[in-house]
Structures are given as C-alpha cells and as structure tokens.
Structure 1
Amino acid sequence: MIVTLVLAAEVAFWVVLGLGLATRYLLRWRTVSTVLLVGLPVIDLVLFLLTLFDLRGGATASWTHALAASYLGFSVGYGPSVVRWADARFLHRFGGGPKPPPAPKYGAARSRHEWQVCRRTLVSAAITVTLITALKVCTDAPGTEVFTQWYWKLGLAALINTAVAASFTIWPKEPPAGAIVEDGRVVGWKIPESRP
C-alpha cells in the first residue's frame, strides 16, 4: 500500500506544480496559483502522516516508509528551488519572460552555487533523519532497523555535497582562456588583438 501512496504523491507533486504554473501564466489566476504552489509540501506531509498511520497500524517497516519521509525532507529542503526553477522556465515558455540563465560554472559564483546546493541537501537530510527517527520512536512497528541504512545514505549525501562545495571554494574552476565571464557564466569571447 505504501508504494502506491509514494507513487501517487510523486505524481500529485508534479501535477499540482504544473497546475500552479499554468494557472499563473496561462489563466492569470495569481491567487489560485499561489495557493497551489504553497500547498506542494502539504502533499508530502499527508504522505508522511499516512506512513505513520500505516506503521502504527501494524505494518512492517520497509525502505518505502523511509522514502516517504524523505519526500517531505526533500520538499522542505529543495522544494522552493524546484518551484523557482520550473517557474522561470514556464515564464520563458508561456509568459514571454527571459530565458533563464544556466547555473554558474566558474569562480566565486560557482562556489556560492555549490554551497547553496549543499545547504539544501543538509536541510533535506536533517529533516529526513528527524522524520525517520520519529517513525521509529512513535511506532512499535517491526523491522525499523531497515531505517539505519537511510541514516548512512543521508550522511553520505551530505558529506559528498559538502566536499564538492568545499572543493569549488578551495580550487575554483577557471574559465577558458579568452572568455568574458559575468557572475560565473561565459557571456562572450575576447577578440584577439591583430598584430601589426
């Protein structure tokens, strides 16, 4: 049953996100759009509560219960940035907005970008660990030892993200020779000076 709920929550997240953006840019219903987009974490909260009730009802804990908890962690940690990413692309495609710039690739701008990703990962991992621990503590469900591997996976993800961000801070990526860079993005190329 929990697998079906996880799949339903995944589909619902993207459907509500699409509806939120469509009502904003195609129908110009800004209030309805805002309600839909703000309601995105509610989908994952409902999934987590149903997971809790499933375990309290006698279900054996499995990796899918931990996955349901990670959805809420992801929604809080990454949700706003996912909405901004989709919003910028929807605005460009259907609202006449500018083409969204790519993520910065060079210098301090790239380092800042990687630390932002790292922060999102740390928030997501911390919330997920807290929720999985709550599933263990608040239920008498058998098999909760399966959650231990999620602690390791989340810790590894946090460690890798921190190492990547630190590496771009210590060894910033340099742009190609002759590139004109603004905010970590190549915006043009210098023309070589002609020799007399």
Structure 2
Amino acid sequence: MIVTLIVICEVGFWVLLAGGLALRYLAKMPRASVAVLLCEPLLELTLLVVTAVDLKNGAEPDFKHGLAAVYIGFTVAMGHRMIKWADVRFAHRFAGGPPPAAKPKYGRERMAYEWREAGRWMLACAIAIALLQAAVWYVGGEGETGSLRQWQIRMLFVMGVNAVIALSYTLWPKSAPPSVTTATGSEDRSRTLL
C-alpha cells in the first residue's frame, strides 16, 4: 500500500503541477494556479501520515517505509525547484516567456552551480535521514529497524557522491575553450599578449 501511495503522490505532483501551470498561463487564472500548487504539500503530508499509521499498527519497518521517507525528503528539498523549472519552460512554450537559461559550462559559475546542486541533494538526503531516524525512534527498541538504517547509509553515500562531484569542479574547473581566430580570420592578438 505504501509503494502504491508513493506512485500516486508522484503522479499527483505532476498532475497538480500541470494543472496549476495550465491555469496560470492558458486560463489566465493566477490565483487558482497558486491554490492548486499549494495542494502539492498535502500529498507528502498524506504519505507521511499513512506511513506513520502503518508503523503504529504494527507493520514491520521495511524497504517501503524507508522509500517513503526518502521520497518525502527529496520532494521537500527539490519540489520547489522542480516547480520553478517547469514554470519557466511552460511560460516559454505557452506564454511567450524568455527561454530557460542554460546551466553554466565553465569556471567559477559552473563550480557555484555544482555546489548549489550538491547542496540540494544533500538537504534532501539530510531530511530523509532525519525522517528515517524519527521512524527508528517511533518503532522503538523492540522493532526491526535494519532496513531503515540501510536507507540512512544509502543517503550518506548519495551525499558523499554529490560532494565529490562538486569538489571535482572546484579542484579541476573546466575552462572555456580559447578563441583562436577573430571574425576576420586573423589571430586573436588579445590572447597572445596575455
């Protein structure tokens, strides 16, 4: 039942997002759009309550309870960004908005971008770890919590991977390719003087 509810929450997220954006840009109803988008956190709250009730009723903590905590953590940390991502693309496609900005490719800008992304992933993992720990305490000493602990280890691994990726852009930043020729075809003197 928990896995089915996770799937329903994910589908519900995208349905509410599409509905909210359609109301904003196609129907020109921004207040209704906000109301629809504000319903999205209710999905995670429902999942949290159902998971807690399932554990309270004596269900043995297993993979699905850990997955629910991870799903909630990632939705809380990244849901707003996903809404902004979709909003920019929807506005561009249906309302004549500016095209989405491309992620930076080089240097300091790319390094900062990678650390922001790693920060979001780490926040999602930290929320998931906290929810998993709350579930461990909720179940108490008599319950089997090994699967919840395994999810915590997985989240620590994901945090580490994201830190390594961001650190690699700090230690080995990608440089922009040098300009070899100018528009006239002659050598770019400004680069050769440096």
TM-score, structure 2 normalization: 0.89
Whole-Å separation in 2 of the counterparts to 1:19 and 1:69: 26
Task: Give structure 1 stretches of 5+ with no counterpart.
Answer: 180-188
Match of 2:177 in 1: 176
Whole-Å separation in 1 of the counterparts to 2:184 and 2:105: 23
Whole-Å separation in 1 of the counterparts to 2:184 and 2:129: 54
Whole-Å separation in 2 of the counterparts to 1:192 and 1:106: 26
What percentage of aligned pairs have identical amino acids? 39
Q: Once the two structures are superposed, what CA deviation does each residue of 1:32-68 show, in whole Å capped at 9, x if it has no partner?
A: 2112223322211210111111111111211111111
Whole-Å separation in 1 of the counterparts to 2:76 and 2:184: 48
Give the letter aligned to residue 162 of structure 2: N
CA drift at 1:149? 1.2
**What does residue range 7-156 of structure 1 map to in structure 2 within 5 Å?**
7-140=7-140, 142-156=143-157
CA drift at 1:125? 0.9
Give the letter aligned to residue 54 of structure 1: D
Q: Structure 1 residues 190, 60: CA separation in 2 closer, same or farther (over 3 Å shift)?
A: farther
Task: State yes or no: 1:193 paired with 2:191.
Answer: no
Whole-Å separation in 1 of the counterparts to 2:14 and 2:143: 33
Match of 2:192 in 1: none
Give the letter aligned to residue 91 of structure 1: A
Whole-Å separation in 1 of the counterparts to 2:120 and 2:38: 18
CA drift at 1:194? 3.0
Higher strand residue share: 1
CA drift at 1:128? 0.6
Give the letter aligned to residue 144 of structure 2: G
How many aligned residue pairs are there? Answer: 186
Give the letter aligned to residue 4 of structure 1: T
Whole-Å separation in 1 of the counterparts to 2:132 and 2:144: 13
CA drift at 1:177? 2.8
Whole-Å separation in 2 of the counterparts to 1:152 and 1:192: 58
Larger radius of gyration: 2
CA RMSD of aligned residues (A): 1.9
CA drift at 1:139? 2.6
Higher helix residue share: 2
Q: Once the two structures are superposed, what CA deviation does each residue of 1:129-174 show, in whole Å capped at 9, x if it has no partner?
A: 1111111111358432111111111111111111111111121111
